[in-house]
Each structure stands twice: as C-alpha cells, then as structure tokens.
Structure 1
C-alpha cells in the first residue's frame, strides 16, 4: 500500500473528466478537505514543508468539508455530468 489509511488522509482532490485523448470534457471540480491537527501532525517533514509552503495546510484547517460530504459531491457531479453532458437526452445505448 502506498499510504496508511489509519494515519494518512486526503487533503485535496480534483477531478477532470476527459475523452480518450485526454481532452477535458468539462471544467472539473476541486475540493480541500477538513482534517484534524492529529492527522496533520502525523505527516512527514516533506509533506509538512511542501503543503505549508503552498498554503494547503491553511486551507485544510479552514475547510468545512469532510470526506463524506466530498464523496457525495463527487458522485453527484459525475452522475449529473454523465446525465446532462454525455447523455443529454438521458438515453442509454446498448449493443444489439
């Protein structure tokens, strides 16, 4: 495993939906997630330095979005994008 879910948390997530040639189909979404000082203190020195310098840690501390809220917003975004942008008539094509 790349990271330990017991001590590591997602700080920021962005999604851009593309076609097979990686051309964006929509402008995308981005979220900064609220995380407790407990998890921020568990970061290694590289992450602490990098994310402090970029301002991400400050954004995390003032964010009101928890993981569950962000998950729901991402699923809503993808569902709505699929329904409205990719299949504007709500039609689903099936082979045969």
Structure 2
C-alpha cells in the first residue's frame, strides 16, 4: 500500500537561515487519502526568535494562540524524535517516504536544516498540492474554496488533503 507523509510546519518566517520551526504536524495517509496516523507538537524556541518575527507572522501566530504556547512547547530534538517514531511505526525501514503538502518545498527546506533524521528518510520526490492548484485553477478554472484557517499546522494539513481530494475528484481514469 502506498502511504504519504503529509507535513505542515509553522515557522517564525520563511528564511531558513534565520527562522525556526514553532509548530509541526504530520499525517500519514493511504492512497485514498484516508488518515492512518497523525502527530502534532508546538516547538519550544528561545524568545529572541519570537520577538524578531515580522509583522505578518506576529499577527497570525498571536491571533491563532500559537505564540502563547511556544514557551511550554517541546524541544526541537524531542519533536524530531517523535516524528521519527511516527515514521518508524508507519513506514518500512527501506521506504523512501514521499512528503506531501501545500508549498511543501518550503517545509522541506526547514526539515532538511532542523530535522535531519526525518530528511534522511524522505524521497527526493514530493507531492505538492500547489501544483494541482496551478493546473486546475489556470487550465480549467476549477478552484478550491479554502476556508479561513488560523495558520495552525494540523488544520492546514487537513485542508491540503481536502484540497487534493477536490482536484482528484475531476480525474477519471
């Protein structure tokens, strides 16, 4: 059975050289996009990273309540080890895991830098829902009315899965 590892990270910004991960969520799905397992954690980071977030990140992460949870979050090493436990539970050790998500290339940069054990298990191929969005929106004028989320990792993953299901509903093979 084909499985996908959906990941969404919330970060203090987009620059992988300056910013850090503040929330991580993962969902394992089968080829019918049914959830088999899931994980979520807020990542503890030094206050300096929170203080230097840009205005967009300050606004969204405060409104969602995420900023208030960071001081009591889990250490990044613990989060990586727990993600590895999820992977080891759901994937064969020889599997190169396909990473899935929306604009997943950005998350992959942070995974490569901060979660190297997770990165080592990933296939170079990724399933990026954004590619489907570009094709369906621009070629066929089919869109997905994405509900407003609070930019929290678990909700964002579920919306990405729902969005892919919408686009795939138009594919007849």
TM-score clears 0.5: yes
- Offset at residue 57 of structure 1 (A): 0.3
Structure number with greater Rg is 1
Structure 2: gaps of 5 or more residues: 1-12, 93-173
Which has the larger strand fraction?
2
> What 5-or-longer segments of structure 1 have no aligned partner?
84-96
The corresponding residue for 1:34 is 44
Secondary structure in structure 2 of the residue aligned to 1:13? strand
Q: Which residue of 2 aligns with 1:3?
A: 14
Correspondence 1:69-84 to 2 at 5 A:
69-82=78-91
Give the length in aligned residue pairs: 80
Please give the alpha-carbon distance, in whole angstroms, between the structure 2 residues aligned to 1:62 and 1:24: 28
Q: Normalized against structure 2, the TM-score is what?
A: 0.43
- Counterpart-to-counterpart distance in 2, 1:68 and 1:5: 17
The residue that corresponds to 2:140 in the other structure is none
Q: Could you say what the CA RMSD is over the residues aligned between the two structures, in angstroms?
A: 1.7
